[in-house]
Structure 1
Amino acid sequence: MPSSQHTPRTVTLLGSTGSIGTQALDVVRAHPDRFTVTGLAAGGADPVAIAGQVLETGAGAVALARPEAAAPVAEAIEAGARAAGRAVPDVEILTGAQAATTLASRGSDVVLNGITGSVGLGPTLAALGAGSTLALANKESLVVGGDLVRRAQVRDDQIVPVDSEHSAIAQCLRSGTRPEVARLVLTASGGPFRGRSRAELTAVTAEQALAHPTWSMGPVVTINSATMVNKCLELIEAHLLFDVPVDRIAVVVHPQSVVHSMVEFVDGSTIAQASPPDMRLPIALGLSWPERLDPVGTPCDWSRATSWTFEPLDESVFRAVALARAAVAASATHPAVLNAANEECVEAFLGGRIGFLEIVETVERVLGEHEGTSAAGLSLESVLEAETWARARAQEVLRAG
């Protein structure tokens, strides 16, 4: 049962109305004695949802990416409070592209970064600079920022991964010392197109690609899962988080999505973390690390017969994972280029302007044209320049057909 022996941690939720944010609020709701939400950040497309979160959590500050959302959110907060017979709370509303970064810089105990895309880099750096524990669900900020993010850390344990795969690895690593680690093994569901040939993928639609067999996620992450770009980004993230070379990180397809990832040790032992697919478990660990909360999720049911299968990833069909290894080997800015080009291609695919296979093909072409920046010369400006170039070049390639 929830314990009252802990001082509540203050929490800032970035991406509060998205999948990660709403599930994080489920965790907070179940453990009100452990967490106090002080800030929320969202795009602003759903003012009523944001207002409801403010009134439920008592958050004193809200960051909205869309400036035009400020008035509707303020009105929804006032209307919600009056309808509940409550006093209208005094809520600070920040707006604009830097609003989430400003909010993340205020030093709450934990900042959960659930923003989608490389726009999460600024808030990631701000949270680390403020000394907050960063519960990181925004893999793109680490992939794009790389050594910038690692340099921003003020303590070794400051980043707690929220992706289910990296959370699993972090848990498994408690079973041995770092010199004892032989390999990291990332599991992949295989997405909606597991087992198909490249020829069978030429005509798939966005609707088909969005039909993930296991997880409910946002559209960009779901398409990335279908192309295996998600696993490509996760491989880079694992390399950066755990300081393991990319050639010692394997990817294996596990359709049941119960074993979330594994660590293989030098003595031949492999430690796996298993639980039914439920993002609330890694989210809860991100908020409470290194402690576990009770309760969070439902464990595996060992009273029923079940089978788990594992199979190698067909990299001749899903070429994105190979791009991850190539990007890491090429330069400090190649991962940023990979991510930015992919975001442009996913948008084009969802808009019906390109085919499914063209996503990774275009990313590969743009990646091959990038000159790159060394780790020594890496700066926020060089990362942003590389991203800008990649987006423009991807758009040129897509327009040329």
Structure 2
Amino acid sequence: MPASPVQQITILGATGSIGASTLDVVARHPDRFAVFAVSAHRQVERMVEICLRHRPRYAVMVDADAATRLQRLLVQQGCRTEVLAGAAALEDVAAHGDVHAVMAAIVGAAGLKPTLAAARAGKKVLLANKEALVLSGRLFMDTVAASNAVLLPIDSEHNAVFQALPVDYRRIPGAAGVRRILLTASGGPFRSTPLEALDAVTPDQACAHPNWVMGRKISVDSATMMNKGLEVIEAHWLFGAPASIIEVVVHPQSVIHSMVDYLDGSVLAQLGNPDMRTPIAHALAWPERIDSGVAPLDLFAIGQLAFERPDFHRFPCLALAYRALEEGGSAAATLNAANEEAVAAFLEGQLGFRGIPAVIEATMERAGQHAVDSVEAVLDADRHARRIAREEIQTRRIP
């Protein structure tokens, strides 16, 4: 039999933790995968390293000045990677005819348009950007269906649920006999911190996740459990599951990545070491399995697994996410935009840790909700929410 063609991969957000893990897995299988394009915002030095090692055809810098610097440095090094600039170039490399799969790992609302472009072009979309579904769930899923794109979740929790469901679960009436989807959560660094101590939490403390190595924004989202709230919304769209059957289970060891509870009493779980290369490798090779570089799980070393109910008083962001899913329309876009603004203010020392959910709740109250049936409507809701959130941040600004 002839050898399978090498899959060309575009990595949106190549300098982040997901991008780095994707590059690691791809490099382990040069007979199967090649890097077609990579993108970053303005991290020039890291992109030089990536281009020299992986030799992609294109490198996209959203920042035009950074693109100019990158091109100059690559020419000096004799690297033939072509550098493109601007947000439109992200969509171009996501939808390019030579691309087989797109890793959508740009954090936040900025990843929405290129991820939609990949779906519209019928690509295999490896979805690590949860905001694409949070902001435009119905629009995104309709685009995937219309173009026959393949959508594979990269979040460890959704990838675990995907693995625990039957392959043809979307074609089985009654959601394949599923009773509950159980999304596990580590509880972050403040799972047992006294509530009164949360007012004095610093950005460095919030970013010190006990199990995972992640970027600063998503680390703060883990500390507030907003990441889990966004994942609840994402699970609703990915698996066609109502909010009433999506439950969050605090599991401090982060060994069980999520579970599916069936009507017959079976509970299927996916376990593994907390390393994002596992879901990345699973999605890249799906439906096959390949080596990810992750060490085998040592159950004897772990010893025991613990589970707790989430405390909505400690983690109000989780409750706000359930509320946004229930309200529908633009509520989830408002939630996400307000969270991005509040987390950025916290990381810059302008807002206290407990000010994050306060800003989000106030923004949701003021913004209201309306239908979002186009990308423009989604982005309008996002912009409107950000304006309100910035005003709310100013009223709570740390002197």
Using the size of structure 2 for normalisation, the TM-score is 0.93
5+ residue gaps, structure 2? none
Output the CA distance in 1 between the equivalents of 2:83 and 2:294. Answer: 34
Of the candidates 191, 196, 201, which is equivalent to residue 193 of structure 2?
A: 196
- Does 1:255 find its partner at 2:252? yes
Map 1:123-142 → 2, pairs under 5 A? 123-142=114-133
- State the 1:182 CA deviation: 0.7
Moved more, 200-209 or 291-300: 291-300
State the partner residue of 2:157.
165
Counterpart among 73, 76, 84 of residue 94 in structure 1: 84
Q: Does 1:66 align with 2:63?
A: yes
Give the one of 204, 210, 215 matched to 1:213.
210
> 1:197–1:317: 8 Å Cα contact kept in structure 2?
no
Give the partner amino acid of 2:5.
T
Q: 1:329 to 1:302 in 2, by over 3 A?
A: closer
3-state secondary structure, aligned to 2:265? coil
- Return the alpha-carbon distance in structure 2 between the equivalents of residues 166 and 66 of structure 1: 32
Answer yes or no: is 1:182 the counterpart of 2:179: yes
Aligned residue in 1 for 2:9: 11
- Contact kept in structure 1, 2:253 and 2:306, CA below 8 Å: yes
* Contact 2:166-2:176 within 8 A present in 1 as well: no
Q: 1:277 to 1:190 in 2, by over 3 A?
A: same
Separation of aligned partners in 1, 2:204 and 2:301? 34
> Root-mean-square deviation (CA), in Å?
1.8
Structure 1 position 397, deviation (Å): 1.2
How many residues were matched structurally?
A: 389
Q: Which residue of structure 1 lines up, in the alignment, with residue 377 of structure 2?
A: 382
Partner of 1:371: 368
Residue 326 (structure 2) pairs with residue 326 (structure 1): no
> Judging changes above 3 Å, is the alpha-carbon distance between structure 1 residues 357 and 92 closer, same or farther for their aligned structure 2 residues?
same
Question: 2:275 — aligned with what?
Answer: 278
1:282 positional shift: 0.6
Of 82, 101, 104 in structure 1, the residue corresponding to residue 94 of structure 2 is 104
CA gap of 1:327–1:303, structure 2 versus 1, over 3 A, is closer
Indicate conservation of the 8 Å contact 1:373/1:382, yes or no: no
Deviations 1:245-304 (A, max 9, x none): 011100011111110010100111110000011100111122122221135422212454
Q: Are the aligned partners of 1:48 and 1:76 in contact in 2 as well (CA < 8 Å)?
A: no
Match of 1:79 among 70, 76, 79: 76
Residue 29 (structure 1) shift: 0.8
Check 1:364–1:272 CA distance in 2 against 1; reply closer, same or farther (3 A cut). same
Which residue in the other structure is 2:387 paired with?
392
Match of 1:20 in 2: 18
Cα offset for 1:55?
Answer: 2.7
**In the aligned structure 2, how far is the partner of 1:174 from the partner of 1:6?**
26
Cα offset, 1:391, TM superposition: 0.5
> What is the one-letter code of the residue matched to 2:122?
G
* Contact 2:160/2:270, CA 8 A, preserved across alignment: yes
> Are the aligned partners of 1:51 and 1:74 in contact in 2 as well (CA < 8 Å)?
no
Question: 1:97, 1:13 → 2: CA distance?
Answer: 14
> Quick one: distance in 2 between partners of 1:126 and 1:165?
25
Query: Which of 336, 341, 345 is matched with 1:339 structurally?
Result: 336
Which one-letter code corresponds to 1:127 in the other structure?
Answer: A
* Cross-structure match for 2:110: 119
What is the DSSP-based 3-state SS (H/G/I as helix, E as strand, rest coil) of the residue aligned with 1:226? helix
Q: For the residues of structure 2 that align with 1:34 and 1:294, how far apart are their CA atoms?
A: 12
Q: Which moved more, 1:243-252 or 1:193-202?
A: 193-202
Deviation of 1:9 after TM superposition, in Å, equals 1.1
Percent identity, aligned pairs only, is 42
5+ long unaligned stretches in structure 1: 82-87
Counterpart residue identity of residue 146, structure 1: G
User: Contact 1:262–1:273 (CA<8 Å) still a contact in 2?
Assistant: yes
1:26-73, Cα deviation, whole Å (9 max, x unpaired): 00111111102111111122x232123223222111111110012221
Task: Report the AA paired with residue 340 of structure 1.
Answer: A
For residues 130 and 29 of structure 1, the distance between their equivalents in structure 2, rounded to whole angstroms, comes to 25
Q: Distance in 1 between matches of 2:302 and 2:202?
A: 36
- SS of the residue corresponding to residue 311 of structure 1 reads coil
- Does residue 135 of structure 2 align to residue 144 of structure 1? yes
> 2: distance between equivalents of 1:171 and 1:337?
31
CA contact (8 A) 1:136 1:286 kept: no
1:291 equivalent in alignment to 2:288: yes
Q: Are 1:311 and 2:308 counterparts?
A: yes
Shift of 1:157: 6.3
**Pair 1:304–1:19, CA change in 2 (3 A):** closer
Aligned mates of 2:367, 2:137 — CA distance in 1: 17
Q: Residues of 2 paired with 1:266 and 1:135: CA distance?
A: 30
Greater shift, 97-106 or 31-40, is seen at 97-106
Shift of 1:213: 0.7
1:349 to 346, 350, 355: 346
Matches for 1:49-64 after TM superposition, within 5 Å = 49-64=46-61
Cα displacement string for residues 61-102 of structure 1 (whole angstroms, at most 9, x for unaligned residues): 111111001222112212333xxxxxx42x322112322122
Q: CA deviation at 1:305?
A: 6.1
| 3-state SS, counterpart of residue 372 of structure 1 | coil
